[in-house]
Amino acid sequence: MKADAEIKISALEILNRHLGIVETERFIALIQRERFDYTKWRANLFPDISGEEISKRAMESLKASDSM
């Protein structure tokens, strides 16, 4: 299991890679200023995909990027 600091670093790297630094900063600001319920947010983000499927896809993506 990863330490909290490692998870934060990985998450920021992923956000930066896909959004860029400015959009990552905006995303963090949005999350911090709103009362945020991750469970509701995730359910609305991918209503047709289970948490298990999202996890499976994330692991496949990680394995693919590690092999590059």
Q: For 15-52, write each residue's pLDDT tens digit.
A: 999 999 999 999 999 888 877 787 787 778 778 888 78
Sign of CA dihedral 44, 50, 52, 57: negative
CA 54 to chain centre: 11
What is the token pair recorded at 17? 């890679």
Q: Are residues 18 and 44 in the same domain?
A: no
pTM above 0.85, yes or no: no
Q: Are residues 44 and 32 in the same domain?
A: no
Q: Are residues 30 and 41 in the same domain?
A: no
Confidence bin at 14 (pLDDT 50/70/90): very high
The total number of structural domains in the chain stands at 2
Alpha-carbon separation of residue 56 from 17, 31, 32, 37 (angstroms)? 20, 25, 28, 23
